[in-house]
Structure 1
């Protein structure tokens, strides 16, 4: 249990940076918005996992309160990012019915 959250933190941070760089490399506005939604999801997962990890590491009341705040912010960021990326993925499919 102690190694799952640090791995999740690192992976989500790497994916966040990957999607932010991918935004800079693409010129299509729709694809940029899709990647931005994905990066928000990764950032939310990072914040969520970081909040849980900090509570498990310190196990104090203050880390519990801060962890709850991080869980709320990370959860909201993740949900919003998934909704945005799903919306723009559907828009891309609608505009490109032939596939890739």
Structure 2
């Protein structure tokens, strides 16, 4: 199963990328948008990490910890998608010419 480690590594790299991008920009709206994108990457990291750990160990304790991490990762993903949608609409509202 090479797909889960690939997704985990990619989401971790994108999380770090968006956190560094927050530091490079001065616009608060863009910073909030990048923070929402990084929240999506963090949520996908935790979500797929939980699935990968259960598939790797297949024990009862990894199932319980995996369920907790799945819920936390899903919550991060959900909140991140809502924030991205909100900040994208705000940017379109403030910049109608683009």
TM-score bracket, normalised by the shorter chain, equals over 0.9
Q: What RMSD in Å do the two structures reach over aligned CA positions?
A: 0.4
In the alignment, the residues of structure 2 paired with residue 8 and residue 37 of structure 1 have an alpha-carbon distance, to the nearest angstrom, of: 19
Q: Which residue of 2 is the match for residue 61 of structure 1?
A: 60
In the alignment, the residues of structure 2 paired with residue 96 and residue 79 of structure 1 have an alpha-carbon distance, to the nearest angstrom, of: 26
What is the correspondence of 1:26-41 to structure 2 with a 5 Å cutoff? 26-41=25-40
Gaps of 5+ in 2: none
Gaps of 5+ in 1: none
Look up the SS of the partner of 1:27 in the other structure.
Answer: coil
Query: Do structure 1's residue 70 and structure 2's residue 45 form an aligned pair?
Result: no
In the alignment, the residues of structure 1 paired with residue 85 and residue 35 of structure 2 have an alpha-carbon distance, to the nearest angstrom, of: 11
Where in structure 1 do 4 or more consecutive aligned residues deviate above 6 Å?
A: none
Count of paired positions: 98
